[in-house]
Amino acid sequence: MGRPECIIIDTDAGGDPDDTLAIALACKSPNVLAFVTSDETRNGARARFVKSLVGDCATVLTGLPSPYPGKHVLDKLDVSSREQPPSMEEILPRMLETAALDSDIHWIGIGSYTNLAWLFDSYPQYAKSMKVTLMGGRLNHSENDRPEHNFKVDPDAAMKVAEVAHELLYVPTTVTSHDRTYVDRAHPLISYLESGAEAWKAAALTNFDVWFAERFPASYQHDALTLGIALGAVRYTLSTHVRATPPGGLIEDRTSRVTAVAGGVDYDGFWNWVWHTLE
């Protein structure tokens, strides 16, 4: 039997609410060591919002800002009453050193890659030993496509991670932006969030409502699907070897060690896993 897996969730929650569903699902797993905030704001509001979702289920760490910050709705979310979670730079290295003694580390990135690039620069041993699953990139990216978000906010970090990570799987927007991951105001997920008194449900519902009102009328569940695939809870049948190119392209390359999910995703199985996990 192999060693147990210890999970780090790197999230830019506080914008598109797909992160909030992913965080709720991750909190049902006993293997999550910490949540770290990517594309962090100057006042650390993102980490305080993640704490409002996570509660006591796992440690929350304040991550690094990205050079080209993405848009968020944190100014419309209630984070004022939360204490600031500690800095990733101070706490995470010791946490990983301890966890690595008897566990394999799995970094699941559902935000920008700034934190992971910092970790690989500062502690290069993890680039060789850590399993990495990242939401982001776009297969067969064309010049007319807009830049993929998780690459766009820190292109240098994206390329650094792609170059040095030993075991890296992308879950690209070409499989996450699917009709079956589309959640709007009429979706059963919203009714589910409205039905409960738990603090995380109220925080998640507010995130969805504000996003629908301020940004877009729907949210694709990129991050929850990525989490399901990373945990082995959601099956897919097609993958390909790729190399990363700015501003978010994933180009097929048989010589590359990096892989990406290319299709055959069990979207019905995804929602079955979501509902079963949230019960």
- Domain range summary for the chain, segments of one domain joined by +: 5-183+219-278
Determine what percent of the chain is predicted with pLDDT higher than 90: 89
- C-alpha distances (whole Å) from 166 to each of 125, 134, 182, 256 are 10, 13, 32, 11
Determine what percent of the chain is predicted with pLDDT higher than 70: 98
Sorted by sequence, the CB contacts under 8 Å of residue 52 that are 6+ apart come out as: 77, 78, 79, 82, 199, 200, 203
> Per DSSP, what are the bridge partners of residue 250?
139, 244
pLDDT for residue 78: 79
pLDDT digits (tens, 9 = 90+) for 81-139: 678 999 999 999 999 999 999 999 999 999 999 999 999 999 999 999 999 999 999 99
- C-alpha distances (whole Å) from 68 to each of 119, 136, 143, 156 are 19, 16, 20, 11
* pTM for this prediction: 0.96
pLDDT for residue 1: 59
Does residue 142 have a pLDDT over 80?
no
Average pLDDT, the chain: 95
pLDDT for residue 247: 86
pLDDT digits (tens, 9 = 90+) for 192-226: 999 978 888 999 999 999 999 999 999 999 999 99
Q: What is the rounded CA–CA span in Å between residue 67 and residue 92? A: 21
pLDDT for residue 3: 87
pLDDT for residue 80: 66
Greater confidence (141 vs 155) lies with 155
Does residue 140 have a pLDDT over 90?
no
> Per DSSP, what are the bridge partners of residue 10?
36, 109
Q: Taking residues 60-79, what's their average pLDDT?
A: 94
Does residue 251 have a pLDDT over 70?
yes
Element holding 11 (H helix, E strand): strand 5-11
pLDDT digits (tens, 9 = 90+) for 160-193: 999 999 999 999 999 999 999 999 999 999 999 9
Q: Taking residues 254-276, what's their average pLDDT?
A: 97
Residue 244 backbone class (left: φ over 0; alpha: ψ -120 to 50; beta: rest): beta
Class of domain 5-183+219-278: alpha beta
DSSP state of 84: P
